[in-house]
A and B are shown apart, each in its own frame.
Chain A
Amino acid sequence: MSHERAWIATKKGLFELRLRGMQWTVERISFLGEPVTMVLPPAADDKRMLASLTTGHYGTKVHASDDAGVSWHEVATPAYPTQPEGAPGPEWKLVQLWSLEQAHGAVWAGTLPGGLFRSHDFGRSWQLVESLWQRPERLEWFGGGYPVPGIHSICPHPTRKGEVLLGISCGGAWITRDDGVSWALAATGMKANFMPPELADNPNIQDAHRVVRCAAAPDHLWCQHHGGVWRSTDNAGSWQEVEGVPVSSFGFAVAVHPREPDTAWFVPAEADQRRVPVQGAMVVNRTRDGGRSFETLRRGLPQQHAYDLVYRHGLAVADDGRHLLMGSTTGGLWASTDAGQEWASVSLHLPPIFAVRFG
């Protein structure tokens, strides 16, 4: 995850950015005009990558590159099996590929309407993880941001092959420790205040907007939840709400420092019923002590009449823990080279940004 290259997945194409000196510049645009809703950057020492297009008319299509984004070719798209007649729940039709991660030789794809797919040949074929799809609890999930539920966060354990944690809107968090043979809910401690009181603590209906894992301390997880900020220090065995978040505890994005599990960044928005920066001022909240205190960082960010919303995958931190990128649904892109202390706009005129990733 080099800090010198980044990928911006937007409603009108995939933008490859390079850091030249202190300046991010657009190096290449792929799929200009097409909605690229997710991208999987190359792993270290690899040039293979994937991009998911959510075309307006023809559905989701996955493209692969073997040369780090210079050229692309279409590969297989995850597809749901035939829906049994009368099967309850959302239609077994791919709406969008919402998350892409790779670990231990496999690529994982999280989708709307809530199916998890896996590829062992880098996208040439996909298999639905039936063990999760067939869980009866899935039928209690519901949409968060889309009409159907979806898997937006995939957190493979960096050293334990076969262990993967998922974040689902709205289906809480789920974990497998046996490579997808079995699954367990992993959202105990989260609370959904918008639900009927008797369901507020139900881990299976939590709207975990985004879940991220610290690479060097994988038991440490952060969650930007619909109702605030939560943290786990026991690999999602339990979650604790972080109180006293300044400006607003509502938001979508969270990023965690790759080596310092107590350091995380959040981009607050006013509230679920008004998804804009508080008082029109873009800010980033940073904690460096595990959520006991926060700094609100605003240097270099617009402080008047800014209505940018940073969505789930719109905030990323590089391997060095110092370079950050943040992209908004109204096409603003900002970068920091000092862990968020100062920001500089890369562009304010990009298409709506779905995802930013280093690599």
Chain B
Amino acid sequence: MPRLFFTPQLARFTATPEVETSALTLRDALEAAFAVNPQLRGYVLDDQGHLRANVVAYVDGRRCQERVLLADPLRADSRVHVLQALSGG
């Protein structure tokens, strides 16, 4: 089953569970994580449910470019990593 990993940087704000899910798309995988920790949603998605401007998601090593639908397909053995875009000072 696809597995979802969040950057440990997020852990200073909220719990970041490692989630195993039967989701077929990136959005559904994220929803599975939000079901475990609802507070996580606001850290990853903005008011309109889009991926936050400074958050990035990788599916099997490929950066997800589309930030609105989040419909990237997942395989049975996909690995999804959600992390922060490095910026600021």
Q: Which residue of B lies closest to A76 (CB)?
A: B42
| A74 contacts B48, C-beta separation under 8 Å | no
Greatest chain A CB density within 10 A among B10, B13, B14 is at B13
Query: With A74-B13, A74-B14, A77-B42 in contact, do A58 and B47 touch (Cβ < 8 Å)?
Result: no
| B10 contacts A58, C-beta separation under 8 Å | yes
Query: With A74-B13, A74-B14, A74-B39 in contact, do A59 and B46 touch (Cβ < 8 Å)?
Result: yes
A20 at the interface (CB under 8 A from B): no
A80 at the interface (CB under 8 A from B): yes
Q: Give the distance in Å from the alpha carbon of A113 to the alpha carbon of B48 in the complex.
A: 14
Q: Which residue of A lies closest to B86 (CB)?
A: A57
B88 to chain A, nearest CB (A): 4
B65 at the interface (CB under 8 A from A): no
User: What DSSP secondary structure best describes chain A's contact surface?
Assistant: loop
Listed stretches A87-95, A205-213, A224-232; interface member:
A87-95
A-contacting residues, B39-89, CB 8 Å: 39, 42-44, 46-50, 52, 54-55, 84-85, 87-88
| A56 contacts B47, C-beta separation under 8 Å | no
Query: With A59-B42, A77-B42 in contact, do A93 and B13 touch (Cβ < 8 Å)?
Result: no
Q: Cβ of A83: which chain B residues have Cβ within 8 Å of it? A: 48
| B14 contacts A93, C-beta separation under 8 Å | no
Q: Give the distance in Å from the alpha carbon of A57 to the alpha carbon of B46 in the complex.
A: 11
Q: Cβ of B43: which chain A residues have Cβ within 8 Å of it? A: 58-59, 61
Number of A-B contacts (CB under 8 A): 49
| B88 contacts A56, C-beta separation under 8 Å | yes
Q: Fill in one digit per residue for B1-34: 1 if any A CB lies within 8 Å of its CB, else 0.
A: 0000000011001100000000000000000000
A79 at the interface (CB under 8 A from B): yes
Q: Which residue of B lies closest to A82 (CB)?
A: B48
| A92 contacts B42, C-beta separation under 8 Å | no
Q: Give the distance in Å from the alpha carbon of A55 to the alpha carbon of B52 in the complex.
A: 11
* B interface residue count range (under 10 / 10 to 19 / 20 to 34 / 35 or more): 20 to 34
| B47 contacts A79, C-beta separation under 8 Å | yes
A283 to chain B, nearest CB (A): 30
Q: Cβ of B52: which chain A residues have Cβ within 8 Å of it? A: 57-59
Q: Give the distance in Å from the alpha carbon of A77 to the alpha carbon of B88 in the complex.
A: 23
Q: Give the distance in Å from the alpha carbon of A91 to the alpha carbon of B85 in the complex.
A: 21
Q: Give the distance in Å from the alpha carbon of A170 to the alpha carbon of B52 in the complex.
A: 26
Query: With A74-B14, A77-B42 in contact, do A58 and B84 touch (Cβ < 8 Å)?
Result: yes
CB within 8 A of A57: which of B47, B48, B49, B55? B55
| A93 contacts B47, C-beta separation under 8 Å | yes
| A92 contacts B48, C-beta separation under 8 Å | yes
Q: Give the distance in Å from the alpha carbon of A82 to the alpha carbon of B47 in the complex.
A: 7
CB within 8 A of B87: which of A56, A59, A92, A94? A56
CB within 8 A of A91: which of B48, B54, B55? B48
| B13 contacts A80, C-beta separation under 8 Å | no
Q: Cβ of B46: which chain A residues have Cβ within 8 Å of it? A: 59, 93-94
Q: Fill in one digit per residue for A118-134: 1 if any B CB lies within 8 Å of its CB, else 0.
A: 00000000000000000
Q: Give the distance in Å from the alpha carbon of A188 to the alpha carbon of B82 in the complex.
A: 50
A50 to chain B, nearest CB (A): 16
Q: Which residue of B lies closest to A83 (CB)?
A: B48
A57 to chain B, nearest CB (A): 4
Besides the known contacts A56-B54, A57-B52, A57-B54, 16 further A-B residue pairs in the complex with CB atoms under 8 A apart: A56-B84, A57-B55, A57-B85, A57-B87, A58-B10, A58-B42, A58-B55, A59-B52, A61-B43, A74-B14, A79-B42, A83-B48, A91-B48, A92-B47, A92-B48, A93-B50
Subset of 13 A-B contacts with CB under 8 Å: A56-B88, A57-B54, A57-B87, A58-B43, A58-B54, A59-B42, A61-B13, A61-B42, A74-B13, A80-B48, A82-B49, A93-B50, A94-B46
Q: Which 6 A-B pairs have the closest CB atoms?
A: A57-B84, A58-B43, A57-B54, A80-B47, A56-B88, A93-B47
> Which residues of A approach B to under 8 Å, CB–CB?
55-59, 61, 74, 77, 79-83, 91-94
